[in-house]
């Protein structure tokens, strides 16, 4: 009977099971957990709260409410380091907390360092075992020494017993990873240096299991040299948390001196310091500030590193960034880094000789790729191309695509016939077309007249071919120079149908006979909401197109989520688009040389450069983390998409309103 009730009320709905088990794991009173279970079942079955079907930790699409009243970094704006140091200098002794104040780790939670130790030690579930061992060590220490303060040696005594890993070796590995991962808080580094220049007594105070000598080594390696002391809880059997560690340092330097302590924990670093005759200044924990807005729906290690990079950069207090910079750094950086990894892996696996980063979306991708893989600079190039130029060049062989792009997609979209004909560069046909189909130039293109207009153009197809011949020949000269001596290339674009790469391959190999097969590498494909839902499937199936973020066959949940009608394409393209106008076509100049002509430049080039600066700064910091780890950090496409789920969420309309002025549908062609 008990098992049947458990199956009915707990196991039947995954979200209810997850919430109930979480309550039991916190060791809440049994009656409280049962009351919670009853309430959850009532909400699900009686009040139809269907969101309870999904576990809290694994929502289908995690949508955080983003800060929209300004830049996120403005939430952590602080006085300049010199000004803060001047305030602190009025005290005789200045104490700083160590971890999350003087030092950062590139993780959103400190225990995530244990993932990497598990990797180094080849030990399954090492992180949880290490967490449990520390809890057990504190429990045992309390029983025989009446203190919860333990050393690394105490923890690894239990770890050796539980895992078989030798204590000395395990401690060595842990210290090595701490040294690899820790880096200076750039704000506090300037503060401490300013204080030391003034000749002030600066000390470090930490509730930690690592020995003081090792922490001093960490601090010194990160630029904090000449500190007057390091007080660590495990060496005194008392802590900042109980307040008595502050008494230890006051006895060490003299009770009559004035003291101030700076740290990130509201109780241990602020309240307890104040209670023990010290002034205290709270330094907001960067992860507490940032994780409110960070996605958790990423793979464990990549997600933690991503959040760690974002939080420690945006919330350290050293600078306030523009919203555009943050859009690039926070929401575009992980995607661009992962996409460049994907491109590199494909290039290496298929012996690609040339990487064409297609305009305009390849603009910042090219810069990021060269930053990540500088040895491959000579095989990369920025290639001018656009759907508009491609459709004209390949019109004779892709007539259906030609008319779909120029006519079908613009039906009932408030475009006049004059605008349509001008975009096709067929101005000389306008008057006769209007006379033949009996419409005015300012008549809007509708489903009623589109058929007769297309029929007229088909009847004059020879004229259209002749008109585009100049562009065909000029385009050949341009791509002959780019692909000279190359016999295998890729064309990199953001997406979505992949027609840019497909048409380029056709032009290069069938129109111009340059003998260089081109594969299209896309960030994402058409989604289930696209008008031509499966237009590119034959090319994906054949390997002529490959996709990083999603397709029908990869990350299918994203294929079902991504909705162009909701503006998703535009917000992704905003991350990458160049400040220049899109390509209109290839022409001859007065000297007979190939000339690229463009639409007008985008109206906000400075903001676009800010977005790109944010992206490239993220790439730089990600590379620095990989260098510390001594290994690559592969970014799956599903992880790369996760930050943008919140951006595209309906609950973040106010956040997107600050970016709408930068969206540029004019150049999406």
Share of the chain above pLDDT 90, in %: 88
Specify the pLDDT at position 58.
59
Residue 155: CB atoms within 10 A of its CB come to 23
Model confidence pLDDT, tens digit, residues 428-449: 999 999 999 999 999 999 999 9
Specify the pLDDT at position 669.
43
How many CA atoms lie less than 13 Å away from 447 in the CB half-sphere? 0
Specify the pLDDT at position 490.
99
Specify the pLDDT at position 5.
83
**pLDDT at residue 107 above 70?**
yes
Q: Where are the beta strands (DSSP E) in 534-639?
A: 545-550, 583-588, 594-598
CA distance 281 to 39: 42
Query: Looking at the chain, which residues constitute the CATH 3.40.50.1000 domain(s)?
Result: 81-284
> Could you give phi then psi for residue 331, rounded to 5 degrees?
-105, -20
Burial grade of 482 (CB within 10 A; 0-12, 13-18, 19 or more)? middle
SS3 content of the chain, % helix, strand, coil (to 5): 55, 10, 35
pLDDT, average across residues 504-514: 97
CA distance 339 to 579: 21
Helix (H) or strand (E) holding 496: none
Specify the pLDDT at position 667.
45
Whole-Å CA distances, 43 to 21, 30, 54, 565: 17, 20, 14, 33
Helix (H) or strand (E) holding 56: none
**pLDDT at residue 547 above 70?**
yes
CA distance 321 to 338: 23
Instruction: Provide the H-helix boundaries in 222-294.
Output: 233-236, 244-253, 272-275, 286-290
Model confidence pLDDT, tens digit, residues 213-234: 999 999 999 999 999 999 999 9
Whole-Å CA distances, 277 to 155, 256, 261, 601: 33, 10, 11, 62
Model confidence pLDDT, tens digit, residues 560-609: 999 999 999 999 999 999 999 999 999 999 999 999 999 988 888 999 99
CA distance 276 to 23: 36
Model confidence pLDDT, tens digit, residues 43-98: 989 888 887 887 776 566 788 999 999 999 999 999 999 999 999 999 999 999 99
Specify the pLDDT at position 57.
64
Q: Are 363 and 608 in contact (CB under 8 A)?
A: no
Tokens at residue 378, please?
């000579």
Q: Which of 43-47, 161-165, 342-346, 480-484 has the lowest mean pLDDT?
A: 43-47
CA angle 468, 472, 473 (to 5 degrees): 120
- Residue-averaged pLDDT of the chain: 95
pTM for this model (two decimals): 0.91
Specify the pLDDT at position 33.
84
Whole-Å CA distances, 141 to 132, 137, 242: 14, 6, 16
Tokens at residue 497, please?
């149908």
Share of the chain above pLDDT 70, in %: 98
Q: Which overall architecture, per CATH, does domain 81-284 show?
A: 3-Layer(aba) Sandwich (3.40)
CA distance 612 to 74: 20
Specify the pLDDT at position 11.
86
CA distance 517 to 376: 20
**pLDDT at residue 348 above 80?**
yes
317 confidence band (pLDDT: 50, 70, 90): very high
3-state secondary structure of 6: helix
Model confidence pLDDT, tens digit, residues 14-43: 888 888 888 877 666 788 888 888 899 999
pLDDT, average across residues 343-365: 98
Specify the pLDDT at position 298.
96
**Distance in angstroms between the alpha carbons of the first and the last residue of the chain:** 65
Length of the chain: 669
Q: Which residues pair with 347 in a beta bridge?
A: none
């Amino acid at each position: 009977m008990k098992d049947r009730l458990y199956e009915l009320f707990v196991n039947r709905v995954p979200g209810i099971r997850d919430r109930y088990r979480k309550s039991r794991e916190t060791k809440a009173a049994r009656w409280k957990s049962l009351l919670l279970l009853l309430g959850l079942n009532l909400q699900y079955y009686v009040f139809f709260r269907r969101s309870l079907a999904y576990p809290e930790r694994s929502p289908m699409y995690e949508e955080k409410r983003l800060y929209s009243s300004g830049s996120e970094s403005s939430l952590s704006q602080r006085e300049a380091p010199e000004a803060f140091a001047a305030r602190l200098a009025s005290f005789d002794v200045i104490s700083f907390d160590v971890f999350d104040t003087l030092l950062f780790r590139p993780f959103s939670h400190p225990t995530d360092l244990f993932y990497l130790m598990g990797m180094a030690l080849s030990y399954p579930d090492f992180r949880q075992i290490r967490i449990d061992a520390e809890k057990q060590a504190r429990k045992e220490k309390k029983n025989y020494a009446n203190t919860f303060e333990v050393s690394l040696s105490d923890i690894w005594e239990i770890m050796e017993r539980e895992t078989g890993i030798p204590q000395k070796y395990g401690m060595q590995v842990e210290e090595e990873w701490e040294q690899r991962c820790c880096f200076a808080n750039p704000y506090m580094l300037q503060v401490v240096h300013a204080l030391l220049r003034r000749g002030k007594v600066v000390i470090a105070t930490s509730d930690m299991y690592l020995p003081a000598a090792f922490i001093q080594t960490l601090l010194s390696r990160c630029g904090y040299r000449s500190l007057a002391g390091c007080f660590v809880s495990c060496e005194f059997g008392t802590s900042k948390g109980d307040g008595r560690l502050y008494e230890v340092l006051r006895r060490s330097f003299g009770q009559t001196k004035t003291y101030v302590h700076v740290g990130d924990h509201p109780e241990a670093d602020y309240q307890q310091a104040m209670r023990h005759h010290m002034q205290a200044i709270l330094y907001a924990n960067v992860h507490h500030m940032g994780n409110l807005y960070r996605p958790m729906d990423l793979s464990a290690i990549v997600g933690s590193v991503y959040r760690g990079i974002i939080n420690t950069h945006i919330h350290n207090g050293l600078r306030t960034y523009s919203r555009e910079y943050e859009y690039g750094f926070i929401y575009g950086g992980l995607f661009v880094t992962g996409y460049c990894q994907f491109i590199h892996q494909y290039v290496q696996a298929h012996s690609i000789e040339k990487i064409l980063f297609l305009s305009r979306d390849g603009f910042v991708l090219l810069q990021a790729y060269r930053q990540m893989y500088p040895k491959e600079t000579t095989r990369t190039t920025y290639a001018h191309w656009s759907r508009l130029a491609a459709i004209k060049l390949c019109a004779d062989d892709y007539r259906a695509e030609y008319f779909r792009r120029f006519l079908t997609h613009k039906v009932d979209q408030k475009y006049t016939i004059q605008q349509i004909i001008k975009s096709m560069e067929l101005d000389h046909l306008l008057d006769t077309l209007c006379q033949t189909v009996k419409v005015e130039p300012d008549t809007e293109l509708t489903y009623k007249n589109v058929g007769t207009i297309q029929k007229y153009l088909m009847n004059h197809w020879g004229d259209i071919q002749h008109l585009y011949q100049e562009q065909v020949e000029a385009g050949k000269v341009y791509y002959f120079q780019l692909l000279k001596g190359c016999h295998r290339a890729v064309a990199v674009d953001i997406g979505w149908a992949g027609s840019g790469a497909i048409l380029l391959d056709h032009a290069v190999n069938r129109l111009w006979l340059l003998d260089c097969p081109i594969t299209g590498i896309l960030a994402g494909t058409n989604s289930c909401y696209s008008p031509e839902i499966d237009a590119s499937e034959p090319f994906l199936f054949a390997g002529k197109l490959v996709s990083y973020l999603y397709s029908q066959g990869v990350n299918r949940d994203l294929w079902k989520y991504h909705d162009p009608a909701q503006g998703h394409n535009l917000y992704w393209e905003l991350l990458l688009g160049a400040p220049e106008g899109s390509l209109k076509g290839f022409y001859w100049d007065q000297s007979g040389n190939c000339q690229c002509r463009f639409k007008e430049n985008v109206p906000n080039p400075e903001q676009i450069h800010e977005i790109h600066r944010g992206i490239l700064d993220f790439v730089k910091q990600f590379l620095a983390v990989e260098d510390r780890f001594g290994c690559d950090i592969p970014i799956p496409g599903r992880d790369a998409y996760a930050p943008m789920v919140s951006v595209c969420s309906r609950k973040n309309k106010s956040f997107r309103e600050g970016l709408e002025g930068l969206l540029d549908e004019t150049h999406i062609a």
